[in-house]
Structure 1
């Protein structure tokens, strides 16, 4: 990997039955008393037994970033913004930011399925980071850090002759450390001192954007 990393019931059943039977017996006794006194028989007691309290929802697991001794836990995958599905300039910019967020999530968790889902099968610069992530998490390894942020996203939104669009991004990246086990550092990449210029190429197909390339702009590679 280069210095530009491509860039988680209150009452038991037996008691409820007993409560119900007590109510039924009590109602029958009231009816019998009403008949013996010559009055109008009382109607059955329609009061339902105490409802079982609703089960307390399980607390949402707390997201925990990876450390030098353990993998990240319960991290929440970023959601595709609504406007990121539109074939517009704003939609493409929003999608590009989402791609960076999803790339960061994949490095943080080892989960690459969502990243693969928005990457073209022919995108070699997409398969490179995906392979790097899969390798990092093989045999119990993981990645610490590697935070990614798109600090600038611009596009002319002018399609190429093949219908592809180009987006220029500035990527801020944190330190990235690869661990093969608790406290076993395999590789350590310091945070770059400057934001990295990147270019994303995408095409709008079947109502969604798909990444065709993600690499430094031509001339910087």
Structure 2
């Protein structure tokens, strides 16, 4: 996958991209609609298996619990709702790494999403190391956010945004460093599918800016 970074000892595939809480990503400001590029947000759908959870999992979230966690507006069956859910997905990933707890990420990940499977594997690695995300941040450029229906597929929205990532650090239970990632800027294209009345992540493409 383009634009992924891997950290020492972990191969945290998207930690360089999504390593901390997103700034300003739960509001509707900056979300616009436009005609989508036919190639934006596509990803391999070769995987037919649901991404695995990092451990004998806590009870899976119900759809009601998931929507209660998501920001206001993310439940709307509109392009803006899809954009808000994608923003929440990235924000919750980072928050969950600080616990760590992958249940919300798993609930929002569709089987075809290899990016999501990479995220979920990060929880496995952190569990083995008894570690968590200690510090870092990602800022979303609100003026770059766009969302538009896929004209070729029903119930699919393409969401695009640019993000800036600061340096961040992972630590173990004793507070010792487990490595981290350098700053970077990335363009994200996400394919969101309405599944059981909830926008879930079907695929993500990441490119360096």
TM over 0.5: yes
Distance 1:81 1:180, change over 3 A: closer
Runs of 4+ in 1 over 6 A off after TM superposition: none
Q: Is residue 87 of structure 2 the alignment partner of residue 97 of structure 1?
A: yes
Offset at 1:208? 0.9
The answer as to whether partners of 2:149 and 2:156 remain within 8 angstroms in 1 is: no
Question: Is the strand fraction higher in 1 or 2?
Answer: 2
Offset at 1:162? 6.0
**Counterpart among 120, 129, 150 of residue 158 in structure 1:** 150
In 2, Cα distance between the equivalents of 1:159 and 1:106?
A: 34
Q: Which runs of 5+ in 2 are unaligned?
A: 7-13, 19-65
Offset at 1:142? 1.8
Distance 1:180 1:211, change over 3 A: same
Cα deviation, 1:22-71, whole Å, max 9, x if unaligned, reads: xxxxxxxxxxxxxxxxxxxxxxxxxxxxxxxxxxxxxxxxxxxxxxxxxx
Q: Is residue 138 of structure 2 the alignment partner of residue 148 of structure 1?
A: yes
Q: Is residue 121 of structure 2 the alignment partner of residue 131 of structure 1?
A: yes
In 2, Cα distance between the equivalents of 1:206 and 1:159?
A: 20
Q: Is residue 91 of structure 2 the alignment partner of residue 88 of structure 1?
A: no
In 1, Cα distance between the equivalents of 2:93 and 2:75?
A: 18
State the structure with more CA Rg: 1
Q: Is residue 101 of structure 2 the alignment partner of residue 111 of structure 1?
A: yes
Question: Is the helix fraction higher in 1 or 2?
Answer: 1
Distance 1:175 1:159, change over 3 A: same
Q: Is residue 5 of structure 2 the alignment partner of residue 2 of structure 1?
A: yes
Offset at 1:140? 2.0
In 1, Cα distance between the equivalents of 2:148 and 2:183?
A: 30
- SS class of match (1:210): strand
The answer as to whether partners of 2:79 and 2:157 remain within 8 angstroms in 1 is: no
Structure 1 match to 2:161: 169
- Tell me which of the two structures has the higher relative contact order, counting C-alpha pairs closer than 8 angstroms and 6 or more residues apart: 2
In 2, Cα distance between the equivalents of 1:215 and 1:106?
A: 22
Q: Is residue 192 of structure 2 the alignment partner of residue 202 of structure 1?
A: yes
Q: Which runs of 5+ in 1 are unaligned?
A: 8-76
- SS class of match (1:82): coil
In 2, Cα distance between the equivalents of 1:141 and 1:206?
A: 34
Q: State TM-score, norm by structure 2.
A: 0.61
In 2, Cα distance between the equivalents of 1:169 and 1:150?
A: 7
In 2, Cα distance between the equivalents of 1:190 and 1:117?
A: 29
In 2, Cα distance between the equivalents of 1:107 and 1:160?
A: 35
Cα deviation, 1:87-116, whole Å, max 9, x if unaligned, reads: 112212211221121122122221110111
- SS class of match (2:193): strand
Cα deviation, 1:121-140, whole Å, max 9, x if unaligned, reads: 23111010111133123342
1:59-70 pair list within 5 angstroms: none
